[in-house]
Amino acid sequence: MQSHQLLQWRPDKHLVAAVLAVPKSHIPMTEMPDMDRCYLVAGLTMAGLTAEDIAERTGCSRRLVMTIRADPRTVMAAVASDDNFELERDLRTERCQHAATRGELAEVRRALERVTHQRDDMLDQLQVKGRVDSFPRCGHERVGYNVYSRNGVDYCRKCRREWDATKRKPRPSTRKNRRSVRNNGNILHNPGLGSAP
C-alpha cells in the first residue's frame, strides 16, 4: 500500500462487530484489503478470539491469521483501538462530571433566586411596616416566602422544612436526638399538620 492510500484509509467501524455477529464472515479474509485485514485481526484478537477462531470465521488459514497478527499495522491498530477505548471511557467520565456540575450550578441558581426573593420580601415589609415581623417561638422572619397558612393559621416554612428534613433522615438512635427533633420549632407539636404547600 502506498503512503497516500494509507492516509486515505479509514477503518470500517462496524467490521469487527459484523464478523462477530455471524459464525462465518460474508467476505473471506483473503479478499480483504491489507489494512482491513490488520484492523479486523486486531479487533477480533482484542475481542478475545484465538487465531483458530479468527481463521474459522474468516475462511482462511491459521497461518495467515498469524502472519497478519505479526504485521506492525495490526499492532498499531490494536494500540489505536486500545487508546480509543480509554479516550471513550475518559469522555464518559467527563460527561458524567459535567452533568453533575451542571446540576450543582442549577441548584446554586435556584438558591440564589430564593435568597433574592427572600431579601425582596423583607425589604418590602420593612418599607411598609418599618420592621420585619418574626414568629414568636423560633424567631424566623414572618414575611411572604416564609409563611404558609393552614386553616387560617400562619406557620413558619423554615421550621417546616427543617422538620421535614429531620423526618426524612434515618430514625435518630438516642433519646437526646429524639427530644431535639420534637423541640425543633414552633409548629412541631401539631400532630395534625399536613405537608407544607
**Site size for Zn ion (CB under 5 A):** 6
Verify binding: residue 159, Zn ion, rule CB under 5 A.
yes
User: Pairing relation of β-strands 153-156 and 147-150?
Assistant: antiparallel
Site mask, Zn ion, residues 139-158, x = CB under 5 A?
Answer: -x---------------x-x
Give the C-alpha separation, 44 to 64, whole Å: 14
Verify binding: residue 132, Zn ion, rule CB under 5 A.
no
Report the largest interatomic distance among the alpha carbons of the chain, rounded to a whole angstrom.
Answer: 94
Site mask, Zn ion, residues 14-53, x = CB under 5 A?
Answer: ----------------------------------------
Strand-pairing partners, residue 108, are: none
Structure-block grid coordinates of residue 94: 467527563
Give the C-alpha separation, 166 to 144, whole Å: 24
How near is the Cβ of 156 to Zn ion at its closest, in Å? 3
How near is the Cβ of 158 to Zn ion at its closest, in Å? 5
Amino acid at 187: I
Residues in contact with Zn ion by CB under 5 A are 138, 140, 156, 158-159, 185
